Amino acid sequence: MATDLRQAATIVRENAHAPYSKFHVGAALRTRDGQMFVGCNVENAAYPEGTCAEAGAIAAMVAAGARELAEVYVIADSDMPVAPCGGCRQKLAEFGAGDVPVTMATVEGTEQLTTIAELLPGAFDAGFMER
Ligand code: THU
């Protein structure tokens, strides 16, 4: 199911700019209308300015005019499948329903399947501001 996402995330990971952490991450996502977008982490000498792979893929999606996540894949060279950071969980929740599948993976091939809701239970969303 996510074979093409895995392939795209693996390839874009090669472009990660991670001279500080040396931790290269690739992300690929599919939108509900079938488009695919990719992103890699882009670090900065001013460390807080760095951005995650997921953030890059989401930015590419939004820039292209798409909004709705259908599937997400994240890959890194880690012992355990890479866990999106807290900020990226919130970013994913902005554009995807709770049941959207997220595959976390290692370059060796271990995969862990989860969902946006599992990654961020009780997420703050726009609904809280409707009153
Ligand atoms: N990183 C990501 O790009 N995505 C994740 O899911 C986890 C962490 C990046 C941020 C930073 O460039 C490096 O990995 C180390 O934290």
Residues with Cβ < 8 Å from 48, sequence gap 6 or more? none
Write down the pLDDT at residue 131: 85
The CATH architecture one would assign to domain 3-129 is 3-Layer(aba) Sandwich (3.40)
5 lines ligand 1 (CB under 6 A): no
Write down the pLDDT at residue 1: 55
Measured distance CA(6)–CA(8) in Å, rounded = 6
> What atom of ligand 1 comes closest to residue 104's alpha carbon?
6
55 lines ligand 1 (CB under 6 A): no
Residue pLDDT, tens place only, 71-112: 999 999 999 999 999 999 999 999 999 999 999 999 999 999
Write down the pLDDT at residue 91: 98
Residue ranges per domain, the chain? 3-129
The one catalytic residue among 43, 49, 54, 68:
54
> What atom of ligand 1 comes closest to residue 74's alpha carbon?
6
Percent of the chain with pLDDT over 90: 97
